[in-house]
Every structure is written in C-alpha cells, then in structure tokens.
Homo-oligomer: A and B are copies of this chain.
C-alpha cells in the first residue's frame, strides 16, 4: 500500500490529515481524510467512519462540521472517505446524483459503472486495512455515521457488518432508497432494473436482520429534500416490526446543511461513544 500524507493540520490539539493513494479495488487514485486526537494518555482509540452526501468530498465534513472538538474531547479517531471513485477514466454522469460524487457506497454490477464503482469493498476492506495502520493504539472498535447519501451508506454498511460496527447514526439519510427518486435512479443505474438485486443494498430491507447495531437518526423538518427523497416510513415500519433499536428524531426548523449537522453532532458523538464503550 502506497499511502501518501498530503496535508497535516493541527486542530483542537489533534491532527487533521489528508492522504492520497492508489486504490486497487477502485482502480483509481483516491483521497481521504483522517483525524487523530492528541491521545496524550496513550489510550486505545476507537475509529468512527463518516460518509458524506451527494457532491461532497472528504473536505465537507472536515471543514464544515466542527467535529474535531468532539473527537478530541472523546478521544476518537475519525476517517472520512471520498464519496466515489474519481478521475477522467472513471465513468460519470452530468447529473449531480449519479456517477462521481454519487456512488451510494455500493458495489455496482452494471457497466459502465461496475469497473470502478466498488465503494462497498473499498471501504469495508481496502480502506479499512489502511485505516488500521494509521490509527495509533487502535482499539479495534468501530462505528459509522453519515449524512444524506452517506446516511444511507452508514446504515447500509453498518447493518451489513453488524459484528463489526458498534453503532450507526445518520443525519437526514436516504433510509428507504427503493422508494425515493434518488435511490431508484442510483440502484437502476448501478444494479440494473431487476429489483430483486436491490434487496441486499436496500436499508429498508437490511433493517429486518436480527442483531444489527443500535441506530440513531436525526432529520430536520425544514429540509427541502424531506420527505420526498428522505422518506423514512418503509425503513421505520420494518424496524418497528422487527423490534430494532432505532431512534428517529425529527428536529423542528433545521434544514439539510452543515448548520444542521453541526448542531446535533455532539448528541451523535455521545451515542457512538456510549456504544463503543468509551463514554466516561
């Protein structure tokens, strides 16, 4: 693995770092960011994954959320992948909700997407191996959070890997992708028109599995994408029928932006740290 650090910035006593590397899984160059807390007490550190939304890169969460103060307070490492494979050779679409910046974090099976769009394998395998080498005193405990498309990604990856992630949280996630325009468009393009192939990636289906991690979701009522794209009903109904530990909170007057995310990030971090067994 040839991983090069291209930025190192001090933040709240810790380090906000950015790395470039060639991904064997995605067959292109990739960038990701990782925050390491000061860890002055040489503790074992948990790792929280953050998956961003449509059009984002690893920069949005690192520059706009203010998460570093919480990650330093709780002494957690945080890794932020990019939202898709990138590059001139990588398939793309003019629309903002398909192609580069819009991978939906799954493994595509239909060309032209399948060649590069293997974000699920990239995150759960290749980038996970890299992350483990970059977090000093890694406790091996992980959790995952995300926003919008990345909220879907966090739910999907977290539920498919229930033995690995101790908690899942999402801000305004696409929780029922087979029932909303963004999800239908992406699944049709990346997986094809046969909806039976969608089920293994459909969070409203995955939430039926026994033993998934506890889930916290926060949704603003003034979010312009709610309820059309962020319809929570199929997901929540299935969660209820299967007695899953899903807390879904609507917050009055908040929109889809980082002003919303940053306002509730402290609550999400507390939820993660509690389930990671690290809350003091």
Contact = CB atoms under 8 A, between A and B. Distances in A.
A68 interface: yes
A16 interface: yes
B64 A262 contact: no
A68 B65 CA distance: 11
Given A10-B222, A64-B64, A222-B10, A69 B253 contact: no
Could you tell me the dominant secondary structure of chain A's interface residues? mixed
B10 A255 contact: yes
A167 to B, nearest CB: 23
Contacts of A68: 259, 262-263
Nearest to A64: B63
A11 B69 contact: no
Copy total for this chain = 2
A10 B9 CA distance: 29
A181 to B, nearest CB: 24
A253 B15 CA distance: 10
- Which interface residue of A10, A63, A68, A260 has the most chain B CB atoms within 10 A? A10
Nearest to A12: B263
A244 interface: no
A257 interface: yes
B66 A263 contact: no
18 contacts: A9-B260, A10-B220, A10-B222, A10-B254, A10-B255, A10-B260, A10-B263, A11-B259, A11-B262, A12-B262, A12-B263, A16-B259, A63-B64, A63-B258, A65-B66, A66-B69, A68-B262, A69-B263
